Amino acid sequence: MQSLITCSLILALILPCFGSNDASYNVMDFGAVGDGKTDDSQAFLKAWQGTCGAQGTPTLQIPSNYEFLLSALVLKGPCNATTILIKLEGKIVAPTKDSWAGNNKRSLISIINVKQLTLDGSGGFIDGCGSSWWPCKTCSRPSMLTFQYCNDLSVHDFTITNSPKSHIHVHYCEGVTFSRINVTAPGDSPNTDGIDVTYSKNVLIQDSTIQSGDDCIAISGGSSVVNVTGIACGPGHGISIGSLGKRNATVEGIYIRNCTLTKTKYGARIKTFPVGNGCAKQITFEEITLDQTRYPIFIDKHYGSYSLTNGEVEVSGVTFRGFQGTSFDGRAITLDCGQLGCYDIVLDQIDIVSSLPAKPACCSCKNAHGTVTSTVPNCSCLMP
């Protein structure tokens, strides 16, 4: 018994030296000022190094009632921690175009090679100060938040606004969930995608509101098993698969349902360049509500200003089901399938009318093959 008591006392003295399993690393404790004018990047980096180096389940704390100015920041793994929580309760602001330091204009915050990460944005948000960048059409503009090689990632209750370019980019990640994301940018802000997914697998994006000047969600080359549900999109360019063709990449196993598209340029879109190779297959858009969408259903195999080549992206196994609402000027369904065509296209239970009585809803096809049932407007141009 005496030996047991002695061992217990020794453990009690030693264990605190290894740090708590739920230690919290507050950026204010590492020199952050939080006045919105002082660059707090180094304080964030030091706090991250402590968080990443800790054992167990540490938290990186970004507290409320402060505004943190950051320059380009890279938070790298791998980490010692089993899981990591980033709790964003304060405000993060990006520098304006003329104040951006250094040549790294890829992203304001890049999180790379971190497993089992949760970003809880309750109460906080990121402002990209994009209006200082948007007038410069030739500038290399940064995204705001990039996740790269981050498996088992969860981001929820998060607000991000006015990015110079895309707001959130998911690249080479697996096992990702985005919930209750709020993205806002003006409808005329250039290339301000809400969420871009590239070369990623097993991704869920749900219950979110996205207003942007480009795609609300873009799912691009190398991505598979992506589920999108409960998205309110608009303004913006809708929910897109692509652009495809620059690289020999596949997008497959995509399921998009229960989304509302309000005054968007496009609705459900697949876009491929008339060059290169690759394929888009096993894609379903289902239960989509439209309000004055200019091109509600659109397959575009002539995207971009490229000359036609012998190569062409394969588009097959695409289902559009349960669409209802209005197109802006009647161009309800456009299936432009290029020289090699699209195959196994399904149009089912579609009711799209024009918001302009003088321009009734219509369907146009080029080399599109599939089946059509219970669809308004009539789409008899779809070939077997």
Q: What is the pLDDT of residues 56-87, one digit of tens each?
A: 999 999 999 999 999 999 999 999 999 999 99
Query: pTM score, two decimals?
Result: 0.93
What is the rounded CA–CA span in Å between residue 299 and residue 123? Answer: 39
Active-site residue, 157 included? no
* Active-site hit among 167, 169, 171, 237: 237
Give the pLDDT of residue 21: 64
pLDDT digits over 261-281, tens only?
999 999 999 999 887 789 999
Give the pLDDT of residue 304: 79
What is the rounded CA–CA span in Å between residue 127 and residue 109? Answer: 12
What is the rounded CA–CA span in Å between residue 198 and residue 244? Answer: 11
pLDDT (average), residues 124-146: 95
| C-alpha distances in Å from residue 190, one per residue of 10, 87, 125, 183, 260 | 62, 30, 21, 15, 22
Active-site residue, 214 included? yes
Q: Higher model confidence: residue 11 or residue 130? A: 130
Give the pLDDT of residue 11: 39
* Active-site hit among 40, 214, 215, 300: 214
The residues, ordered by sequence, that sit 6+ positions from 224 with a Cβ below 8 Å of its Cβ are: 201, 250, 251, 252, 253, 254
Q: What domains are defined for the chain?
A: 19-135+143-212 (2.160.20.10), 215-384 (2.160.20.10)
What is the rounded CA–CA span in Å between residue 94 and residue 69? Answer: 6
What is the rounded CA–CA span in Å between residue 351 and residue 359? Answer: 16
pLDDT (average), residues 14-24: 57
What is the rounded CA–CA span in Å between residue 72 and residue 182? Answer: 22
Confidence class for position 102, pLDDT limits 50, 70, 90: confident
pLDDT at residue 108 tops 60: yes
> Token pair for residue 177?
């969930």
Q: Higher model confidence: residue 101 or residue 55? A: 55
Q: What mean pLDDT value characterizes the chain?
A: 93
- Residue 285: name the closest of 253, 237, 322 by CA: 322
What is the rounded CA–CA span in Å between residue 72 and residue 107? Answer: 6
What is the rounded CA–CA span in Å between residue 47 and residue 28? Answer: 9
What is the rounded CA–CA span in Å between residue 35 and residue 70? Answer: 11
How many CB atoms within 10 Å of residue 210? Answer: 27
Confidence class for position 310, pLDDT limits 50, 70, 90: low
Instruction: Please tell me the total number of residues recorded for the chain in this structure.
Output: 384
